[in-house]
Structure 1
Amino acid sequence: MDMKGKVVLVTGGASGHGRQYCVELFKQGCKISICDINTDAGEELLHELMKQGGTASSVIFNPCDVTDYMQFEEAFQATISKLGGVDIVVNNASVMNDRLWELEVDVNLNGVIRGLLLAFRFLGRDRGGPGGIVVNIGSSSCQNPLISLPVFTATKHAVAAMTRCYGDASHVNLTGVKVVAMCPAPTPAALQGDARKRLLSGEYEQTWQRDVSKTTPLKSEHAAKALVEIIRKAPSGSCWLVENSKAPSEIKMFS
Protein backbone atom coordinates (compact mmCIF):
# COMPACT_ATOMS: atom_id res chain seq x y z
CA MET A 1 0.00 0.00 0.00
CA ASP A 2 1.34 3.42 -0.96
CA MET A 3 1.05 5.61 2.13
CA LYS A 4 1.72 8.93 0.42
CA GLY A 5 -1.25 11.26 0.59
CA LYS A 6 -3.33 8.96 2.80
CA VAL A 7 -5.28 10.72 5.56
CA VAL A 8 -4.75 9.11 8.97
CA LEU A 9 -6.79 9.89 12.08
CA VAL A 10 -4.92 8.87 15.25
CA THR A 11 -6.59 8.90 18.67
CA GLY A 12 -4.32 9.37 21.65
CA GLY A 13 -1.95 10.85 19.10
CA ALA A 14 -0.24 13.45 21.29
CA SER A 15 1.86 11.25 23.58
CA GLY A 16 3.41 7.82 24.08
CA HIS A 17 3.36 5.43 21.14
CA GLY A 18 0.59 7.52 19.54
CA ARG A 19 2.82 10.56 19.19
CA GLN A 20 5.43 8.55 17.34
CA TYR A 21 2.76 6.98 15.14
CA CYS A 22 1.88 10.49 13.96
CA VAL A 23 5.53 11.42 13.40
CA GLU A 24 6.32 8.26 11.44
CA LEU A 25 3.16 8.36 9.34
CA PHE A 26 3.91 11.99 8.49
CA LYS A 27 7.40 10.93 7.35
CA GLN A 28 5.72 8.34 5.12
CA GLY A 29 3.85 11.15 3.35
CA CYS A 30 0.52 10.81 5.13
CA LYS A 31 -1.77 13.65 6.14
CA ILE A 32 -2.24 13.51 9.90
CA SER A 33 -5.23 14.25 12.12
CA ILE A 34 -3.89 14.27 15.69
CA CYS A 35 -6.76 13.53 18.05
CA ASP A 36 -6.17 13.76 21.79
CA ILE A 37 -7.73 14.94 25.03
CA ASN A 38 -4.45 16.69 25.93
CA THR A 39 -4.69 19.99 24.08
CA ASP A 40 -1.25 21.28 25.07
CA ALA A 41 0.55 18.13 23.92
CA GLY A 42 -1.51 18.01 20.73
CA GLU A 43 -0.74 21.61 19.81
CA GLU A 44 2.94 21.01 20.57
CA LEU A 45 3.08 18.04 18.19
CA LEU A 46 1.17 20.02 15.56
CA HIS A 47 3.78 22.79 15.71
CA GLU A 48 6.60 20.25 15.50
CA LEU A 49 5.16 18.67 12.35
CA MET A 50 4.59 22.12 10.88
CA LYS A 51 8.30 22.80 11.34
CA GLN A 52 8.98 19.59 9.43
CA GLY A 53 7.04 20.82 6.41
CA GLY A 54 3.45 20.31 7.45
CA THR A 55 0.73 22.71 6.35
CA ALA A 56 -2.85 23.45 7.38
CA SER A 57 -3.96 21.05 4.65
CA SER A 58 -1.69 18.19 5.76
CA VAL A 59 -1.63 18.25 9.59
CA ILE A 60 -4.36 19.23 12.05
CA PHE A 61 -5.07 18.79 15.75
CA ASN A 62 -8.53 17.92 17.04
CA PRO A 63 -9.31 18.00 20.77
CA CYS A 64 -10.96 14.60 21.17
CA ASP A 65 -12.22 12.63 24.12
CA VAL A 66 -13.01 9.14 22.81
CA THR A 67 -15.54 8.65 25.60
CA ASP A 68 -17.61 11.48 24.07
CA TYR A 69 -19.28 10.21 20.89
CA MET A 70 -20.26 13.67 19.65
CA GLN A 71 -16.74 15.06 20.08
CA PHE A 72 -15.30 11.97 18.40
CA GLU A 73 -17.75 12.43 15.53
CA GLU A 74 -16.69 16.08 15.22
CA ALA A 75 -13.06 14.95 14.91
CA PHE A 76 -13.99 12.80 11.92
CA GLN A 77 -15.98 15.64 10.36
CA ALA A 78 -13.15 18.15 10.88
CA THR A 79 -10.63 15.74 9.38
CA ILE A 80 -12.76 15.20 6.30
CA SER A 81 -13.40 18.93 5.92
CA LYS A 82 -9.79 20.06 6.38
CA LEU A 83 -7.78 17.16 4.98
CA GLY A 84 -10.16 15.90 2.31
CA GLY A 85 -11.26 12.60 3.82
CA VAL A 86 -10.16 9.75 6.06
CA ASP A 87 -8.35 6.67 4.75
CA ILE A 88 -6.92 5.12 7.91
CA VAL A 89 -8.12 5.24 11.53
CA VAL A 90 -5.75 4.29 14.35
CA ASN A 91 -7.75 3.60 17.52
CA ASN A 92 -4.86 4.17 19.92
CA ALA A 93 -6.21 6.12 22.93
CA SER A 94 -5.69 4.04 26.07
CA VAL A 95 -5.66 4.10 29.87
CA MET A 96 -3.46 1.72 31.87
CA ASN A 97 -4.79 2.14 35.40
CA ASP A 98 -7.09 -0.39 37.06
CA ARG A 99 -7.87 2.07 39.87
CA LEU A 100 -9.75 3.99 37.18
CA TRP A 101 -11.30 0.82 35.82
CA GLU A 102 -14.56 2.38 34.63
CA LEU A 103 -12.66 5.01 32.65
CA GLU A 104 -10.25 2.30 31.48
CA VAL A 105 -13.11 0.28 30.02
CA ASP A 106 -14.73 3.38 28.48
CA VAL A 107 -11.50 4.46 26.76
CA ASN A 108 -9.84 1.14 25.92
CA LEU A 109 -12.91 -0.76 24.77
CA ASN A 110 -15.87 1.57 24.32
CA GLY A 111 -13.61 4.17 22.71
CA VAL A 112 -12.45 1.61 20.16
CA ILE A 113 -16.06 0.62 19.49
CA ARG A 114 -16.96 4.27 18.92
CA GLY A 115 -13.99 4.68 16.59
CA LEU A 116 -14.95 1.58 14.62
CA LEU A 117 -18.60 2.58 14.26
CA LEU A 118 -17.61 6.08 13.16
CA ALA A 119 -15.14 4.63 10.67
CA PHE A 120 -17.87 2.41 9.22
CA ARG A 121 -20.18 5.42 9.07
CA PHE A 122 -17.76 7.73 7.27
CA LEU A 123 -15.62 5.23 5.33
CA GLY A 124 -18.02 2.35 4.71
CA ARG A 125 -18.86 1.71 1.08
CA ASP A 126 -22.32 0.63 2.16
CA ARG A 127 -22.72 4.23 3.39
CA GLY A 128 -21.29 5.78 0.23
CA GLY A 129 -17.74 6.02 1.59
CA PRO A 130 -14.45 5.00 -0.05
CA GLY A 131 -13.53 2.11 2.26
CA GLY A 132 -10.31 2.16 4.26
CA ILE A 133 -8.36 0.63 7.11
CA VAL A 134 -8.87 0.65 10.88
CA VAL A 135 -6.01 -0.34 13.17
CA ASN A 136 -7.10 -1.11 16.72
CA ILE A 137 -4.25 -0.80 19.19
CA GLY A 138 -4.32 -3.61 21.70
CA SER A 139 -1.45 -4.60 23.96
CA SER A 140 1.19 -7.29 24.35
CA SER A 141 -0.94 -8.32 27.34
CA CYS A 142 -3.15 -10.07 24.78
CA GLN A 143 -0.34 -12.62 24.48
CA ASN A 144 1.27 -12.18 27.90
CA PRO A 145 -1.40 -11.12 30.44
CA LEU A 146 -0.52 -8.52 33.05
CA ILE A 147 -1.82 -10.44 36.05
CA SER A 148 -1.64 -7.34 38.26
CA LEU A 149 -3.84 -5.38 35.84
CA PRO A 150 -6.74 -7.73 35.09
CA VAL A 151 -9.17 -5.05 33.90
CA PHE A 152 -6.62 -3.48 31.55
CA THR A 153 -5.70 -6.91 30.21
CA ALA A 154 -9.39 -7.78 29.70
CA THR A 155 -10.04 -4.60 27.69
CA LYS A 156 -7.14 -5.38 25.36
CA HIS A 157 -8.26 -8.99 24.88
CA ALA A 158 -11.69 -7.64 23.96
CA VAL A 159 -10.16 -5.29 21.39
CA ALA A 160 -8.31 -8.20 19.78
CA ALA A 161 -11.45 -10.36 19.73
CA MET A 162 -13.55 -7.58 18.23
CA THR A 163 -10.90 -7.04 15.55
CA ARG A 164 -11.11 -10.68 14.58
CA CYS A 165 -14.89 -10.36 14.23
CA TYR A 166 -15.08 -7.04 12.37
CA GLY A 167 -12.10 -8.02 10.25
CA ASP A 168 -13.94 -11.04 8.90
CA ALA A 169 -14.71 -11.07 5.18
CA SER A 170 -18.45 -10.81 5.83
CA HIS A 171 -17.93 -7.33 7.29
CA VAL A 172 -15.15 -6.27 4.92
CA ASN A 173 -17.19 -7.21 1.86
CA LEU A 174 -20.05 -5.08 3.17
CA THR A 175 -18.10 -1.99 4.23
CA GLY A 176 -14.82 -2.08 2.31
CA VAL A 177 -13.10 -1.34 5.63
CA LYS A 178 -10.24 -3.64 6.61
CA VAL A 179 -9.79 -4.04 10.38
CA VAL A 180 -6.54 -5.21 11.99
CA ALA A 181 -5.03 -5.03 15.48
CA MET A 182 -1.54 -4.18 16.64
CA CYS A 183 -0.57 -5.27 20.15
CA PRO A 184 2.58 -3.45 21.27
CA ALA A 185 4.46 -3.79 24.54
CA PRO A 186 4.15 -0.75 26.84
CA THR A 187 6.42 2.28 26.63
CA PRO A 188 9.17 2.58 29.27
CA ALA A 189 7.19 5.41 30.91
CA ALA A 190 4.13 3.17 31.28
CA LEU A 191 6.10 0.75 33.46
CA GLN A 192 7.59 3.40 35.71
CA GLY A 193 6.18 5.37 38.64
CA ASP A 194 4.30 4.35 41.75
CA ALA A 195 2.51 1.10 40.96
CA ARG A 196 0.11 1.63 43.87
CA LYS A 197 -1.53 4.44 41.88
CA ARG A 198 -2.61 2.04 39.13
CA LEU A 199 -3.35 -1.22 40.97
CA LEU A 200 -6.74 -2.07 42.46
CA SER A 201 -5.07 -3.40 45.61
CA GLY A 202 -1.77 -2.80 47.37
CA GLU A 203 -1.58 -6.58 47.67
CA TYR A 204 -0.93 -6.72 43.92
CA GLU A 205 2.45 -4.97 44.16
CA GLN A 206 4.55 -8.13 44.13
CA THR A 207 2.55 -9.39 41.18
CA TRP A 208 3.17 -6.08 39.41
CA GLN A 209 6.92 -6.41 39.96
CA ARG A 210 6.77 -9.93 38.54
CA ASP A 211 4.80 -8.67 35.52
CA VAL A 212 7.28 -5.84 34.92
CA SER A 213 10.26 -8.20 35.20
CA LYS A 214 8.78 -10.25 32.35
CA THR A 215 7.93 -7.25 30.17
CA THR A 216 10.49 -5.51 27.98
CA PRO A 217 9.34 -1.93 27.30
CA LEU A 218 9.08 -1.00 23.65
CA LYS A 219 10.59 2.11 22.10
CA SER A 220 7.93 4.14 20.34
CA GLU A 221 10.08 4.48 17.22
CA HIS A 222 10.01 0.71 16.76
CA ALA A 223 6.26 0.56 17.43
CA ALA A 224 5.66 3.23 14.78
CA LYS A 225 7.66 1.41 12.12
CA ALA A 226 5.78 -1.78 12.95
CA LEU A 227 2.48 0.09 12.54
CA VAL A 228 3.43 1.15 9.03
CA GLU A 229 4.32 -2.43 8.14
CA ILE A 230 1.03 -3.73 9.54
CA ILE A 231 -1.01 -1.13 7.66
CA ARG A 232 0.73 -2.09 4.43
CA LYS A 233 0.67 -5.86 4.69
CA ALA A 234 -1.60 -7.28 7.41
CA PRO A 235 -4.71 -9.17 6.27
CA SER A 236 -8.03 -8.05 7.73
CA GLY A 237 -8.92 -9.68 11.03
CA SER A 238 -5.34 -10.37 12.03
CA CYS A 239 -3.72 -9.33 15.34
CA TRP A 240 -0.01 -8.58 15.60
CA LEU A 241 2.29 -8.69 18.62
CA VAL A 242 5.08 -6.10 18.68
CA GLU A 243 7.70 -6.49 21.40
CA ASN A 244 11.44 -6.75 22.08
CA SER A 245 12.31 -4.75 18.96
CA LYS A 246 11.34 -7.75 16.83
CA ALA A 247 9.32 -7.75 13.62
CA PRO A 248 5.55 -8.02 14.19
CA SER A 249 4.38 -11.60 14.76
CA GLU A 250 0.79 -12.72 14.32
CA ILE A 251 -1.15 -13.72 17.44
CA LYS A 252 -3.11 -16.92 16.88
CA MET A 253 -4.80 -17.03 20.28
CA PHE A 254 -8.33 -17.03 18.83
CA SER A 255 -7.79 -19.74 16.24
Structure 2
Amino acid sequence: MERNIEKKQVVITGGAQGIGFSTAEKFLEKGARLVIILDIDEKQGQASAETLKSKYGEGRAEFYKCDITSDLDPVTNTIFDKHGFIDVLVNNAGICNEYMLRKTIEVNVTAVMEWSIRFFDRTRKDKGGNGGTVINIASQYGFRVDQFMPIYQGSKFAVIGFTRSFGHSYRYKKYGVRVVAVCPGATRTKLSTKTKMNDDPSVQKDFEEMLKTETWQEVEAVSNVIAYVFENADSGTAWLSEDSKPAKEV
Protein backbone atom coordinates (compact mmCIF):
# COMPACT_ATOMS: atom_id res chain seq x y z
CA MET A 1 0.00 0.00 0.00
CA GLU A 2 2.86 2.38 0.72
CA ARG A 3 3.78 2.51 -2.96
CA ASN A 4 0.24 2.69 -4.33
CA ILE A 5 -0.81 6.27 -5.13
CA GLU A 6 -4.53 5.46 -4.96
CA LYS A 7 -6.38 7.16 -2.10
CA LYS A 8 -3.26 8.94 -0.85
CA GLN A 9 -3.41 12.48 0.57
CA VAL A 10 -0.54 14.55 -0.81
CA VAL A 11 1.01 17.93 0.03
CA ILE A 12 3.15 19.66 -2.60
CA THR A 13 5.13 22.81 -1.83
CA GLY A 14 5.56 25.20 -4.74
CA GLY A 15 2.67 23.40 -6.38
CA ALA A 16 0.99 26.27 -8.21
CA GLN A 17 2.89 25.78 -11.45
CA GLY A 18 5.79 23.99 -13.12
CA ILE A 19 6.98 20.66 -11.76
CA GLY A 20 4.81 20.98 -8.66
CA PHE A 21 1.56 21.46 -10.58
CA SER A 22 2.44 18.72 -13.05
CA THR A 23 3.09 16.39 -10.11
CA ALA A 24 -0.29 17.27 -8.60
CA GLU A 25 -1.95 16.31 -11.88
CA LYS A 26 0.02 13.08 -12.12
CA PHE A 27 -0.92 11.98 -8.59
CA LEU A 28 -4.59 12.76 -9.19
CA GLU A 29 -4.51 10.88 -12.50
CA LYS A 30 -3.23 7.86 -10.59
CA GLY A 31 -6.00 8.03 -8.04
CA ALA A 32 -4.79 10.18 -5.16
CA ARG A 33 -7.68 11.12 -2.89
CA LEU A 34 -6.49 14.69 -2.32
CA VAL A 35 -3.68 16.97 -3.41
CA ILE A 36 -2.95 20.06 -1.33
CA ILE A 37 -1.02 22.78 -3.14
CA LEU A 38 1.14 25.16 -1.10
CA ASP A 39 2.55 28.24 -2.79
CA ILE A 40 3.45 31.83 -2.06
CA ASP A 41 1.65 32.94 -5.25
CA GLU A 42 -1.94 33.14 -4.06
CA LYS A 43 -3.55 34.08 -7.39
CA GLN A 44 -1.84 31.30 -9.34
CA GLY A 45 -2.33 28.80 -6.53
CA GLN A 46 -6.07 29.37 -6.36
CA ALA A 47 -6.36 29.16 -10.14
CA SER A 48 -4.37 25.92 -10.21
CA ALA A 49 -6.53 24.34 -7.51
CA GLU A 50 -9.68 25.29 -9.42
CA THR A 51 -8.22 23.75 -12.57
CA LEU A 52 -7.55 20.50 -10.74
CA LYS A 53 -11.02 20.43 -9.16
CA SER A 54 -12.73 21.05 -12.48
CA LYS A 55 -10.78 18.20 -14.06
CA TYR A 56 -10.73 15.65 -11.24
CA GLY A 57 -13.69 16.61 -9.06
CA GLU A 58 -14.60 18.74 -6.07
CA GLY A 59 -12.74 17.83 -2.93
CA ARG A 60 -9.74 16.48 -4.83
CA ALA A 61 -7.58 19.64 -4.57
CA GLU A 62 -6.99 22.42 -2.06
CA PHE A 63 -4.74 25.47 -1.98
CA TYR A 64 -3.09 27.24 0.94
CA LYS A 65 -1.02 30.37 0.56
CA CYS A 66 2.28 29.52 2.19
CA ASP A 67 5.77 30.89 2.59
CA ILE A 68 7.64 27.69 3.40
CA THR A 69 10.31 29.65 5.32
CA SER A 70 7.86 31.08 7.86
CA ASP A 71 4.46 29.33 7.71
CA LEU A 72 5.38 25.80 8.78
CA ASP A 73 3.45 25.80 12.06
CA PRO A 74 0.13 27.41 11.04
CA VAL A 75 -0.14 25.61 7.70
CA THR A 76 0.79 22.12 8.92
CA ASN A 77 -1.43 22.48 11.99
CA THR A 78 -4.37 23.48 9.79
CA ILE A 79 -3.80 20.62 7.35
CA PHE A 80 -3.41 17.91 9.97
CA ASP A 81 -6.31 19.23 12.06
CA LYS A 82 -8.59 19.19 9.01
CA HIS A 83 -7.50 15.98 7.32
CA GLY A 84 -6.07 13.91 10.17
CA PHE A 85 -3.15 12.53 8.21
CA ILE A 86 -1.01 13.13 5.13
CA ASP A 87 0.56 10.25 3.21
CA VAL A 88 3.00 12.09 0.97
CA LEU A 89 4.99 15.33 1.18
CA VAL A 90 6.67 16.61 -1.98
CA ASN A 91 9.24 19.28 -1.13
CA ASN A 92 9.26 20.99 -4.51
CA ALA A 93 9.52 24.73 -3.79
CA GLY A 94 12.91 26.26 -4.55
CA ILE A 95 14.79 29.29 -5.83
CA CYS A 96 17.83 29.84 -8.02
CA ASN A 97 19.36 33.27 -7.51
CA GLU A 98 23.09 33.61 -6.90
CA TYR A 99 22.56 37.13 -5.49
CA MET A 100 20.53 35.71 -2.60
CA LEU A 101 22.77 33.35 -0.63
CA ARG A 102 20.85 33.31 2.67
CA LYS A 103 17.46 33.12 0.96
CA THR A 104 18.66 30.22 -1.18
CA ILE A 105 19.71 28.28 1.91
CA GLU A 106 16.48 29.18 3.74
CA VAL A 107 14.27 27.95 0.89
CA ASN A 108 16.30 25.15 -0.69
CA VAL A 109 17.81 23.66 2.46
CA THR A 110 16.38 24.81 5.80
CA ALA A 111 12.74 24.66 4.71
CA VAL A 112 13.20 21.26 3.08
CA MET A 113 14.64 19.91 6.32
CA GLU A 114 12.04 21.57 8.54
CA TRP A 115 9.05 20.38 6.49
CA SER A 116 10.51 16.88 6.23
CA ILE A 117 11.05 16.69 9.98
CA ARG A 118 7.54 17.99 10.73
CA PHE A 119 6.01 15.43 8.38
CA PHE A 120 8.18 12.73 9.95
CA ASP A 121 7.08 13.71 13.45
CA ARG A 122 3.40 13.47 12.48
CA THR A 123 3.63 10.17 10.55
CA ARG A 124 6.32 8.03 12.24
CA LYS A 125 4.95 4.59 13.05
CA ASP A 126 6.68 4.25 16.42
CA LYS A 127 4.57 7.18 17.66
CA GLY A 128 1.28 5.89 16.30
CA GLY A 129 1.45 7.34 12.80
CA ASN A 130 0.69 5.57 9.55
CA GLY A 131 4.11 6.11 8.00
CA GLY A 132 4.48 7.94 4.71
CA THR A 133 6.78 9.22 2.01
CA VAL A 134 8.80 12.41 1.61
CA ILE A 135 9.96 13.25 -1.92
CA ASN A 136 12.60 15.96 -2.02
CA ILE A 137 13.06 17.66 -5.38
CA ALA A 138 16.80 18.26 -5.67
CA SER A 139 18.61 18.72 -9.00
CA GLN A 140 21.21 17.16 -11.23
CA TYR A 141 23.41 19.63 -9.33
CA GLY A 142 22.85 17.61 -6.20
CA PHE A 143 25.55 15.25 -7.42
CA ARG A 144 27.20 17.04 -10.37
CA VAL A 145 29.24 20.23 -10.41
CA ASP A 146 30.25 22.81 -12.98
CA GLN A 147 31.68 26.33 -12.78
CA PHE A 148 28.31 28.06 -12.57
CA MET A 149 25.84 28.62 -9.69
CA PRO A 150 27.96 27.47 -6.72
CA ILE A 151 25.38 28.65 -4.17
CA TYR A 152 22.52 26.82 -5.88
CA GLN A 153 24.63 23.72 -6.38
CA GLY A 154 25.72 23.77 -2.75
CA SER A 155 22.08 23.93 -1.63
CA LYS A 156 21.14 20.92 -3.73
CA PHE A 157 24.12 18.90 -2.50
CA ALA A 158 22.74 19.55 0.98
CA VAL A 159 19.33 18.20 -0.03
CA ILE A 160 20.87 14.97 -1.31
CA GLY A 161 22.99 14.51 1.82
CA PHE A 162 19.97 15.12 4.03
CA THR A 163 17.77 12.76 2.01
CA ARG A 164 20.26 9.90 2.04
CA SER A 165 20.80 10.19 5.80
CA PHE A 166 17.24 11.00 6.89
CA GLY A 167 15.92 8.24 4.65
CA HIS A 168 18.63 5.71 5.53
CA SER A 169 17.37 2.13 5.71
CA TYR A 170 18.19 2.07 9.43
CA ARG A 171 15.82 4.94 10.08
CA TYR A 172 13.16 3.63 7.71
CA LYS A 173 13.06 0.28 9.53
CA LYS A 174 12.69 2.06 12.89
CA TYR A 175 10.16 4.72 11.93
CA GLY A 176 8.42 3.68 8.70
CA VAL A 177 8.85 7.00 6.91
CA ARG A 178 10.38 6.74 3.45
CA VAL A 179 12.53 9.65 2.19
CA VAL A 180 13.71 9.85 -1.42
CA ALA A 181 15.00 12.49 -3.85
CA VAL A 182 14.36 13.30 -7.50
CA CYS A 183 17.05 15.19 -9.40
CA PRO A 184 15.76 16.95 -12.52
CA GLY A 185 18.14 17.81 -15.31
CA ALA A 186 17.52 20.77 -17.62
CA THR A 187 13.77 21.37 -17.41
CA ARG A 188 11.72 24.23 -18.83
CA THR A 189 10.29 26.01 -15.80
CA LYS A 190 9.90 29.55 -14.54
CA LEU A 191 12.90 28.88 -12.28
CA SER A 192 15.17 27.88 -15.16
CA THR A 193 14.28 30.94 -17.23
CA LYS A 194 14.97 33.41 -14.42
CA THR A 195 18.33 32.20 -13.12
CA LYS A 196 20.38 35.14 -11.88
CA MET A 197 24.17 34.88 -11.77
CA ASN A 198 26.20 36.76 -9.18
CA ASP A 199 29.16 37.23 -11.49
CA ASP A 200 30.64 39.43 -14.21
CA PRO A 201 29.00 39.79 -17.66
CA SER A 202 31.47 37.44 -19.34
CA VAL A 203 30.49 34.62 -16.99
CA GLN A 204 26.80 35.32 -17.55
CA LYS A 205 27.41 35.06 -21.29
CA ASP A 206 29.30 31.78 -20.91
CA PHE A 207 26.49 30.46 -18.72
CA GLU A 208 23.86 31.33 -21.32
CA GLU A 209 25.93 29.65 -24.03
CA MET A 210 26.16 26.53 -21.90
CA LEU A 211 22.38 26.47 -21.51
CA LYS A 212 22.01 26.33 -25.29
CA THR A 213 23.86 23.01 -25.34
CA GLU A 214 21.52 21.36 -22.82
CA THR A 215 18.84 18.89 -23.91
CA TRP A 216 15.73 20.38 -22.33
CA GLN A 217 12.75 18.42 -21.09
CA GLU A 218 9.23 19.47 -20.15
CA VAL A 219 7.87 19.35 -16.60
CA GLU A 220 5.74 16.31 -17.46
CA ALA A 221 8.92 14.26 -17.86
CA VAL A 222 9.85 15.07 -14.26
CA SER A 223 6.40 14.35 -12.83
CA ASN A 224 6.46 10.97 -14.58
CA VAL A 225 9.73 10.20 -12.80
CA ILE A 226 8.33 11.42 -9.48
CA ALA A 227 5.38 9.04 -9.82
CA TYR A 228 7.72 6.19 -10.76
CA VAL A 229 9.94 6.92 -7.77
CA PHE A 230 6.95 6.94 -5.43
CA GLU A 231 5.86 3.56 -6.75
CA ASN A 232 9.30 1.92 -6.83
CA ALA A 233 12.07 3.64 -4.85
CA ASP A 234 13.59 2.47 -1.59
CA SER A 235 14.12 4.97 1.18
CA GLY A 236 17.36 6.95 1.09
CA THR A 237 17.75 6.76 -2.68
CA ALA A 238 18.08 9.53 -5.29
CA TRP A 239 16.87 9.41 -8.88
CA LEU A 240 17.76 11.39 -12.01
CA SER A 241 15.14 12.79 -14.41
CA GLU A 242 17.02 13.87 -17.53
CA ASP A 243 16.42 14.21 -21.29
CA SER A 244 12.83 12.93 -20.89
CA LYS A 245 14.24 9.47 -20.15
CA PRO A 246 12.99 6.95 -17.57
CA ALA A 247 14.10 7.38 -13.97
CA LYS A 248 17.69 6.42 -13.22
CA GLU A 249 19.05 5.83 -9.73
CA VAL A 250 22.19 7.85 -8.94
**TM over 0.5: same fold?**
yes
Q: 1:40 to 1:50 in 2, by over 3 A?
A: same
Name structure 2 gaps, 5 residues minimum: none
Paired AA for residue 34 in structure 1: I
How far residue 214 of structure 1 moved from its aligned partner, in angstroms, is 4.2
Structure-2 residue corresponding to 1:15: 17
Structure-2 residue corresponding to 1:51: 54
Q: What is the alpha-carbon distance in structure 2 between the residues aligned to residue 155 and residue 107 of structure 1?
A: 9
**Quick check: 1:218–1:245 contact (8 Å CA) kept in 2?**
yes
**Quick check: 1:88–1:134 contact (8 Å CA) kept in 2?**
yes
**Quick check: 2:138–2:159 contact (8 Å CA) kept in 1?**
yes
Q: What is the alpha-carbon distance in structure 2 between the residues aligned to residue 131 and residue 73 of structure 1?
A: 20
Once the two structures are superposed, the pairs formed by residues 79-98 of structure 1 within 5 Å of their partners are 79-98=79-98
How far residue 142 of structure 1 moved from its aligned partner, in angstroms, is 2.3
RMSD of Structure 2 on Structure 1 (CA): 1.7
**Quick check: 1:66–1:114 contact (8 Å CA) kept in 2?**
no
Superimposed CA distance per residue, residues 12-58 of structure 1 (whole angstroms, 9 cap, x where no aligned partner): 111211111111111111110101111111101111011113323x3
How far residue 179 of structure 1 moved from its aligned partner, in angstroms, is 0.6
Q: What is the alpha-carbon distance in structure 1 between the residues aligned to residue 132 and residue 198 of structure 2?
A: 39
How far residue 84 of structure 1 moved from its aligned partner, in angstroms, is 4.1
Percent of residue pairs bearing the same amino acid type: 27
Structure-1 residue corresponding to 2:193: 192
Name structure 1 gaps, 5 residues minimum: none
Once the two structures are superposed, the pairs formed by residues 15-164 of structure 1 within 5 Å of their partners are 15-30=17-32, 31-56=34-59, 58-68=60-70, 71-164=71-164
Paired AA for residue 244 in structure 2: S
Paired AA for residue 11 in structure 2: L
Q: What is the alpha-carbon distance in structure 1 between the residues aligned to residue 74 and residue 123 of structure 2?
A: 15
Q: 1:146 to 1:216 in 2, by over 3 A?
A: farther
Is the counterpart of residue 174 in structure 1 residue 177 in structure 2? no
**Quick check: 2:91–2:112 contact (8 Å CA) kept in 1?**
yes
Q: 1:73 to 1:85 in 2, by over 3 A?
A: same
Paired AA for residue 168 in structure 1: H
Q: What is the alpha-carbon distance in structure 2 between the residues aligned to residue 168 and residue 42 of structure 1?
A: 33
Total equivalences in the alignment: 245
Once the two structures are superposed, the pairs formed by residues 207-226 of structure 1 within 5 Å of their partners are 207-226=206-225
Q: What is the alpha-carbon distance in structure 2 between the residues aligned to residue 172 and residue 110 of structure 1?
A: 22
| TM-score of the pair, normalised by structure 2 | 0.92
| TM-score of the pair, normalised by structure 1 | 0.90
What secondary structure sits across from 1:52 in the alignment?
helix
Paired AA for residue 86 in structure 1: I
Q: What is the alpha-carbon distance in structure 2 between the residues aligned to residue 104 and residue 213 of structure 1?
A: 25
Q: What is the alpha-carbon distance in structure 1 between the residues aligned to residue 205 and residue 218 of structure 2?
A: 25
Deviates more, 1:153-162 or 1:208-217: 208-217
